[in-house]
């Protein structure tokens, strides 16, 4: 069965932005204009399609990335449908606590529409999302939204993009009027003005550029063309010689530059007032890449270890990456995956290269948020979901067993906040375990563990809101009523000195004894140097390095891995307050063994004891998560805001203006910030807005460290 849409007419893109910039409102307009939805849902009315979870509708925020499939015929095609495109769109959350949703979505997208608030311009989460897109090499179109609002300014927002994100941004449109006078947009390439008429602005009407913006439009038209032709020598020469360069040639070259991340076109409009969204969709068709325009997916053959690539072709061996798991109340578990190469039929078996297991792919569904459409075959370049896969996790590769491959996986940030959770009744006990297991499968930044001393269940996440919503979901989706303790900071321990330790584990019992003897050198882990080759005897993973310098078989090879495991195990509980130890390098350089008494367990125990002794001797210190705090406040409260930050061991980094408001940026320890939002509201009559995101771990000051250790013990 042939695919119904050629690959060059497929666009996989995401809608990303800071919270409240209008992502979900934009998604709802897209569904309406593409005919997927017969009415427009509004965030403020709580009836959106993409925000389909109860908590999303109640809070007016996006929590999970929703996948939508729809079709678009560019407005300039009129009734001719020969250029109709299939869109697979992911509407991602903007709140920093759900940042993993954005990160994992970036991994499977070919392009992105980045939405900005026309009043605020670039905001903290815009920067974080932009950074994720840079890391994933995702081409972007910028959309300055909400130009109808009081205080909106296209030029100020555009300047903030150039200043804080990229100098490669260039105006593709300018607005006709602003705030209450916002009337439409000028396309600087075609040099046409557009207004949006009829029900919900569904009719896009082109007309001549009004006199009031003509001079400005001509100035920026020249600037745009110069920015485009500098990417092609022939067109550059033609332009400099005064020859006319056709719009078609300019569009082709602009598309090439956007796909190569050399230009980020900036468009504008107001999604809420139905102005500008259709032209965004036209720009997606014209400038964002199809699966054929992006580099082939990379991975390694799980049999040979060799690096391999997978071309976006239906004829290539099947390979897909699972990027999201979701529990559906009607069909059970859904595994969202992006097909990079080949095709897969419903009812056939797939091979999971992460756990070497085969599973039957029962049903394949295409999604419009919470609605589903069954499909028989998923082809290269598509984003679909499978029903009923039991053994898959996020980041796993599904592939053809004859051509096994593990595609590059997704790396997630570590949780920074923990809290105790316990079921209210005995009946909830069993349900709690199932609920926590399901939720941690869905969300890799949500961790569950049992405290070995108190046997309490500890949940960890990216912020207070993150954990609050997960506890709420346990109640609504799994019927588990749980009580929670106070949020706890996820401290870490590390070392600042070095130590040489020798440890012999010798035990004589009546029969065979135990003998393991190791000598280790411990030091702080140095950062990775880009491009520097790692030696064969060094095993490096997150926050830990193991160097095997055993020569001449003084410790047999079969005991090396048990030693490594013992060292890792010892790092799970630090010597100061029992927190995990990070950023340690261990050099195993000598030891001895006994022909009869040595065993794997003896060497593992020797390594654990040696490591604990080494940690005591190498200047152990506590580390705490430091948050980047940005407070937007009216000027009259500046003194109160800076005073409150200083009182919380905060370091103020900058103060700047944003419109009529002041912006204070600071680095503050997470432990000082519990309940800060409430405190800030009372200090500023509810007018200041805080934005928080994780920055880094830093050493805890000695006086604070002593208090933490006492409280822990």
Domains of the chain: 9-287 (3.40.50.300), 297-407 (2.40.30.10), 422-490 (3.30.70.870), 493-618 (3.30.230.10), 624-712 (3.30.70.240)
pLDDT at 75 over 70: yes
What percent of the chain lies above the pLDDT cut of 90? Answer: 27
* DSSP-based three-state secondary structure for 684: coil
Residue among 287, 286, 291, 311 at smallest CA distance from 110: 291
Between 323 and 660, the more confident residue is: 323
DSSP 1: -
Q: What's residue 100's pLDDT?
A: 62
DSSP-derived secondary structure for 244-255: PPPHHHHHHHHH
Rounded to whole angstroms, how far apart are CA atoms 458 and 578? 15
Q: What's residue 535's pLDDT?
A: 66
Reported as a pLDDT band with limits 50, 70 and 90, residue 330 is low
- Name every residue whose Cβ is closer than 8 Å to that of residue 146 and which is 6 or more positions away in sequence: 21, 22, 117, 118, 119, 152, 270, 271, 272
pLDDT at 324 over 90: no
Q: What's residue 368's pLDDT?
A: 61
**How many angstroms separate the Cα of 89 from the Cα of each of 10, 13, 23?**
11, 5, 12
Range with the largest mean pLDDT of 33-42, 65-74, 93-102, 398-407:
398-407
* DSSP-based three-state secondary structure for 412: coil
Q: What's residue 101's pLDDT?
A: 65
**Cα angle, residue 33 at apex, residues 31 and 37 outer, rounded to 5°:** 40
pLDDT at 9 over 50: yes
What mean pLDDT is predicted for residues 484-513? 86
pLDDT at 43 over 70: no
Torsion sign (Cα): 451, 454, 456, 461: negative
Rounded to whole angstroms, how far apart are CA atoms 678 and 597? 63
pLDDT at 46 over 60: no
What mean pLDDT is predicted for residues 326-342? 78
Q: What's residue 328's pLDDT?
A: 66
pLDDT at 385 over 80: yes
Instruction: Give the annotated binding-site residues.
Output: 17-24, 91-95, 145-148
What mean pLDDT is predicted for residues 186-213? 88
pLDDT at 97 over 60: no
**Cα angle, residue 68 at apex, residues 320 and 94 outer, rounded to 5°:** 95
Rounded to whole angstroms, how far apart are CA atoms 482 and 574? 30
Reported as a pLDDT band with limits 50, 70 and 90, residue 38 is very low
Strand boundaries in 488-619, DSSP class E: 488-489, 492-495, 499-507, 514-524, 538-541, 544-548, 584-592
pLDDT at 239 over 70: yes
266-308 per-position pLDDT tens digit: 999 988 888 888 999 999 999 999 999 988 888 888 888 788 8
454-484 per-position pLDDT tens digit: 677 888 887 777 788 888 888 877 888 888 8
Q: Are strands 357-360 and 488-489 parallel, antiparallel or unpaired?
A: unpaired
Range with the largest mean pLDDT of 347-356, 497-506, 526-535, 657-666:
497-506
Token pair in block for residue 431: 């349900």
Q: What's residue 366's pLDDT?
A: 80
What mean pLDDT is predicted for residues 647-669? 87
Residue among 135, 149, 111, 147 at smallest CA distance from 10: 111
Q: CB of 550 within 8 A of CB of 537?
A: no
Tell the burial category of 9 from Cβ atoms under 10 Å away from its Cβ (0-12, 13-18, 19+): middle
Quote the mean pLDDT of the chain.
83
Q: CB of 500 within 8 A of CB of 575?
A: no
In whole angstroms, how large is the CA radius of gyration of the chain? Answer: 28
Q: What's residue 49's pLDDT?
A: 43
Q: What's residue 51's pLDDT?
A: 39
Rounded to whole angstroms, how far apart are CA atoms 347 and 75? 39
pLDDT at 50 over 50: no
What percent of the chain lies above the pLDDT cut of 70? Answer: 89
Tell the burial category of 542 from Cβ atoms under 10 Å away from its Cβ (0-12, 13-18, 19+): exposed
Rounded to whole angstroms, how far apart are CA atoms 617 and 285? 62
Reported as a pLDDT band with limits 50, 70 and 90, residue 585 is very high
* DSSP-based three-state secondary structure for 584: strand
What mean pLDDT is predicted for residues 410-423? 78
Instruction: Give the annotated binding-site residues for GTP.
Output: 17-24, 91-95, 145-148
Helices (H), 137-186: 154-164
Worst-scoring range by mean pLDDT, 365-379, 500-514, 590-604?
A: 365-379
131-149 per-position pLDDT tens digit: 788 878 899 999 999 888 8
676-685 per-position pLDDT tens digit: 877 887 888 7
């Amino acid at each position: 069965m042939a695919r119904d849409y050629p690959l060059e007419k497929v666009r996989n893109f995401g809608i990303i932005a800071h919270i409240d910039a209008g992502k979900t409102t934009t998604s709802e307009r897209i569904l309406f204009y593409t005919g997927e939805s017969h009415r427009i849902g509004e965030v403020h009315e709580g009836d959106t399609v993409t925000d389909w979870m109860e908590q999303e509708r109640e809070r007016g925020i996006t929590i999970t990335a929703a996948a939508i499939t729809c079709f678009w015929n560019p407005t300039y095609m009129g009734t001719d449908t020969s250029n109709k495109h299939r869109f697979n769109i992911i509407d991602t959350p903007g709140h920093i606590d759900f940042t993993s949703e954005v990160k994992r979505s970036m991994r499977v997208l070919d392009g992105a529409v980045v939405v900005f608030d026309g009043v605020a311009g670039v905001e903290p989460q815009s920067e974080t999302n932009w950074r994720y897109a840079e890391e994933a090499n995702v081409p972007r179109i910028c959309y300055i939204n909400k130009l109808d609002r009081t205080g909106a300014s296209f030029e100020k927002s555009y300047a903030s993009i150039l200043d804080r994100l990229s100098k490669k941004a260039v105006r593709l449109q300018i607005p006709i009027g602003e705030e209450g006078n916002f009337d439409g947009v000028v396309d600087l390439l075609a040099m046409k003005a557009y207004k949006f008429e009829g029900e919900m602005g569904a009719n896009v009407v082109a007309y001549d550029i009004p006199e009031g913006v003509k001079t400005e439009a001509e100035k920026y038209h020249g600037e745009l063309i110069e920015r485009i032709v500098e990417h092609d020598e022939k067109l550059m020469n033609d332009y400099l010689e005064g020859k006319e360069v056709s719009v078609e040639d300019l569009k082709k070259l602009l598309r090439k530059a956007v796909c190569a991340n050399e230009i980020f076109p900036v468009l504008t409009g107001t999604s809420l007032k139905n102005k500008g969204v259709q032209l965004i969709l036209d720009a997606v068709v014209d400038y964002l890449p199809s699966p054929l325009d992006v580099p082939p997916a990379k991975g390694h053959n799980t049999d040979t270890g060799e690096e391999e690539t997978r071309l976006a072709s239906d004829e290539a061996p099947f390979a897909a990456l699972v990027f999201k798991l979701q529990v559906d109340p009607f069909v059970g578990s859904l595994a969202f995956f992006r097909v990079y190469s080949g095709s897969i039929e419903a009812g056939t078996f797939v091979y999971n290269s992460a756990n070497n297991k085969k599973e039957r792919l029962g049903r394949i569904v295409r999604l419009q948020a919470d609605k589903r459409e069954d499909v028989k075959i998923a082809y290269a370049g598509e984003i679909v979901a499978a029903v009923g896969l039991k053994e898959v996790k996020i980041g796993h590769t599904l592939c053809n067993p004859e051509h096994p491959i593990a595609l590059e996986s997704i790396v997630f940030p570590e949780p920074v906040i923990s809290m105790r959770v316990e079921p209210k009744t005995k009946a909830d006990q069993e349900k709690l375990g199932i609920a926590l297991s399901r939720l941690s499968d869905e969300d890799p930044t949500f961790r569950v563990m049992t405290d070995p001393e108190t046997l309490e269940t500890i949940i960890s996440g990216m912020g207070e809101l993150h954990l609050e919503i997960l506890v709420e979901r346990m109640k609504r989706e799994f019927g588990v009523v749980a009580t929670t303790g106070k949020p706890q900071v996820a401290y870490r321990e590390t070392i600042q000195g070095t130590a040489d330790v020798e440890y012999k584990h010798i035990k004589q019992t009546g029969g065979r004894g135990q003998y393991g003897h190791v000598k280790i050198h411990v030091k702080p882990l140095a950062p990775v140097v880009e491009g520097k080759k790692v030696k064969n005897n060094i095993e490096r993973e997150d926050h830990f390095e193991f160097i095997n310098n055993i020569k001449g078989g003084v410790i047999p090879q079969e005991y090396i891995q048990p030693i490594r495991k013992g060292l890792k195990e010892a790092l799970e509980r630090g010597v100061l307050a029992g927190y995990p130890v990070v950023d340690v390098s261990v050099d195993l350089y000598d030891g001895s063994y006994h022909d009869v008494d040595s065993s794997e367990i003896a060497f593992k125990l020797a390594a654990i004891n040696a490591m604990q002794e080494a940690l005591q001797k190498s200047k152990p210190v506590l580390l705490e998560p430091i948050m980047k705090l940005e407070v937007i406040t009216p000027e009259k409260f500046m003194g109160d805001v800076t005073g409150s930050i200083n009182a919380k061991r905060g370091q103020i980094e900058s103060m700047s203006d944003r419109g009529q408001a002041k912006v204070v940026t600071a680095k503050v320890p997470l432990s000082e910030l519990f309940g800060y939002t409430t405190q800030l509201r009372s200090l500023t009559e509810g007018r200041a807005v805080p934005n928080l995101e994780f920055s880094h771990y830093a050493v805890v000051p000695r006086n604070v460290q002593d208090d933490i250790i006492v409280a822990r013990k």
